[in-house]
Amino acid sequence: MKWKNRKQSSNVEDRRTSSRGGGRGFKMPSLQTLFFLYPIIKPLLRSKFGLLVVGIGAFAYISGFNPLSLVGTGGTSHQPTTKAATQKDDEEAAFMSTVLADTEDVWSSIFRQAGYTYKAPTMVLYRGSTHSGCGGAQAEMGPFYCPNDQKIYIDLGFFDELKQKFGASGDFAQAYVLAHEVGHHIQNLQGTLEKVEMAKQRSYGKSGQNALQVKVELQADCYAGVWANHAQKMKQILDQGDIDEALNAANAIGDDRLQKQSTGYVMPDSFTHGSSKQRMAWFYRGLKSGKLQSCNTFSN
């Protein structure tokens, strides 16, 4: 993808260098942390020295230090450890900011032509864990959009996993992931997410709710294709092989493929994002048409 020396978005919160909590101010420890630490803390409460140790530990936790790291649990900081790794991390952050700017230009144009003003989301870049308007955010969750604060949360380490574990490499694979999350933002502005949540409450059974969520995810894939169509027309961003990278990523994170890799079998009723074939097909449909009207997954 052609992206260097182009405009980057200002709607970015960079929390990569903050603590694993990633937040501002005091964050209450989880019940898991409390239950784990209590047997350690209890004997310390019987002496003045022990009370001092507990006090220092409490102050450290409030300051953002994870006490579980001392005993080998609670995860790692996920921070780059070498100069080369830091440079790579910064380049990925710059790339994602450029892609976000492209989505802003494309969706602003589409909304303007329809007589509306586009309100862009904020992208939060972090490493390890942080907080969101939808609760805690952890690297294991993967990128996600939170409608409560209209922010997209991305742990940059996800793209290493996407490449190494799922074989989906290339910068446009990363662009597709971000464009998919922006697609959820479009759904939020359209009122689709709220309608789906209401429909889920009326739906009978988990499989029915999952089926509705699949339609949401496939529409976001289609919107990512719509973005790619318009971005190419506006800025000629595509290099040879970029579309293949996006399709490969969509294929790699299909529910059927992920389930097959993790359990050895597939359970379609438990799908929440759609099969590999569906994800590729809906992205390609949006790419070829460039029209939101072609992305009505709810009528199929």
Tokens encoding 30: 């989880």
- Tokens encoding 120: 């862009």
Task: Decide: residue 35, CB within 10 A, 0-12 exposed, 13-18 middle, 19+ buried.
Answer: exposed
> For strand 144-146 and strand 151-155, is the pairing parallel, antiparallel, or unpaired?
antiparallel
Does the pLDDT value for residue 19 go beyond 80? Answer: no
CA distances from 20 to 90, 150, 162, 185, 261 (A): 18, 22, 22, 26, 29
CB atoms within 10 A of CB 296: 11
pLDDT at residue number 46: 63
* CA pair distance 91, 246, nearest whole angstrom: 20
Q: 206-217, pLDDT tens digit by residue? A: 999 999 999 999
Q: How many CB atoms lie within 10 A of CB 190?
A: 14
State residue 166's pLDDT score: 87
Among 236, 243, 287, smallest CA distance to 6 is for 236
Q: Assess whether pLDDT exceeds 50 at residue 91.
A: yes
pLDDT in tens, 38-57: 555 556 666 666 667 667 76
**Taking the model in full, what pTM does it have?**
0.79
Least confident of 95-109, 202-216, 277-291: 202-216
As a whole number, mean pLDDT of residues 250-279 equals 94
CA 83 to chain centre: 26
